[in-house]
Amino acid sequence: MARPNINDFRVTGNLVKDPEAVQLKSGKRLTTFTLAENNRQFNREAQQWEDGEPNYFDVAVDADSSRLGNLAQNVGESLHKGDRVSVEGSYTASPYVNKNGEAGINHKIWASEVSPSLMFASADLHQNPRAETSPSAQAETATTWEAAQPGSGGPDMG
Instruction: Place 114 in a pLDDT band, splitting at 50, 70 and 90.
Output: very high
Give the CATH fold of the 5-147 domain: OB fold (Dihydrolipoamide Acetyltransferase, E2P) (2.40.50)
Give the pLDDT score at 130: 64
Q: CA dihedral in degrees (27, 33, 34, 38; nearest 10)? A: -150
Kindly give, in sequence order, each residue whose CB lies less than 8 Å from that of residue 114, ignoring residues fewer than 6 positions away.
59, 61, 71, 75, 79, 85, 86, 87, 88
Amino acid 145: pLDDT? 46
Return all residues near 17 (Cβ < 8 A) that are at least 6 apart. Answer: 33, 34, 81
Looking at residue 67, the DSSP 8-state letter turns out to be G
> Rounded to two decimals, what is the model's pTM?
0.74
Q: Regarding predicted confidence, which is higher, 92 or 146?
A: 92
Q: Which residues contact 113 (CB under 8 A, 6 or more apart)?
A: 71, 86, 87, 88, 89
Q: What is the pLDDT of residues 115-142, one digit of tens each?
A: 999 998 888 888 887 655 555 554 554 4
Convert 57-94 to b/e letters by CB count within 10 Å (16 or more is b): bebbbbbebeebbebbbbbbeebeeebbbebebebeee
Quick one: how far is CA 35 from the chain centroid?
A: 8
- Does 87 or 148 have the greater pLDDT score? 87
Spell out the domain ranges in the chain: 5-147
- pLDDT at position 127: 85
